[in-house]
Amino acid sequence: MKVKELIDKLNAFHPDLRVVTPGFDESNYEDVERVEFINIIFYDKEKKLHGGRHGKSPEGILAVEIDWQ
């Protein structure tokens, strides 16, 4: 995805929403494929973990996920 495409997609969301990406395995890079709403629980006081520190949940708050899958 090019920068203009990503900006156009992000402009559709409220500017105060949190933005997250899936945890990663620290190898190589992928193109962005999806930018969409998800519900997520934020564990901000927890330490950063290798696979990510927040979790999807129907009870979570609205956020924007940027993903390569």
Model confidence over 10-22: pLDDT tens digits? 999 999 999 988 8
CA 22 distance to own-chain centroid: 6
Residues 5-41 as b/e (b if ≥16 CB within 10 A, e otherwise) read: eeeebeeeeeeeeeebeeeeeeeeeeeeeebeebebe
pLDDT in tens, 30-58: 888 999 999 998 876 665 655 567 788 88
What residue has token string 């156009």?
A: 8
- pTM of the prediction? 0.72
| Residues 2, 58: Cα–Cα separation, whole Å | 31
Neighbours of 60 (CB within 10 A): 14
- Domain range annotation of the chain: 3-67
